[in-house]
Structure 1
């Protein structure tokens, strides 16, 4: 197993953990896993691109270097709510809780700075090509 395969497996595992824990982002880890598998395992890369849930996000990132608005909103909401609740419940009050909340807010800012994919056009392929006679 080479380093890219190992990193791909590691990032994919972190992505799946992030899908279960609202305080941990999923999309960045899934994108990192796809990038690692693109260098090491065409079979795993193809599987990730065809995945029902993560495939569209990976394909958007590879083609356009963008993330959908829905994915950005979902990521920010989950990190903010999950991070806020977790900090409130488990982190002692004082400077430590402010640092932890700052880390979550920094994550929100990073997600907000990602380029947003343009909205998909209504209609099927070739819709724009129709001309009036």
Structure 2
């Protein structure tokens, strides 16, 4: 097993954790995992590209370097609500809570600045798995 495969597994695990925890993003970790597997394991890369939940996002990113509006809205909503709630509940009031909440807002800004995929024309067929 080489370094790219190990990194792919690490980022895929972080993406899985992010799918369970609203304060941690999922998509960036999945995209990085796919990039690692593209360099090391064609089988894992193919599996990720065909995954029912993340495959389309990975294919969009690899082909067009864009993220769907739905993914952007979901990521921003979950980071803001999850991060804000966690900060409010677990971080002591004061400068530290503002710093932590600011970190989540920076994450929101990064997602907001990602290029958005063009909307599919009405009546277009769903993209088939490659």
State the TM-score, normalized to the length of structure 2: 0.94
Task: Quote the Cα distance in structure 2 between the aligned partners of 1:56 and 1:78.
Answer: 20
1:15 paired with 2:15, answer yes
Write the deviation string for residues 44-97 of structure 1: whole angstroms up to 9, x where unpaired.
000000000000000000010000000000000000000000000000011110
Q: 2:128 aligns to what?
A: none
Cα distance, 1:121 vs structure 2:
1.2
Task: Quote the Cα distance in structure 2 between the aligned partners of 1:11 and 1:80.
Answer: 22
Task: Quote the Cα distance in structure 1 between the aligned partners of 2:34 and 2:122.
Answer: 29
Write the deviation string for residues 89-119 of structure 1: whole angstroms up to 9, x where unpaired.
0000111101100100000000000000000
Q: Which has the larger radius of gyration?
A: 1
Q: Unmatched 5+ residue regions in structure 2?
A: 126-130
Q: 1:30 aligns to what?
A: 30
State the TM-score, normalized to the length of structure 1: 0.92
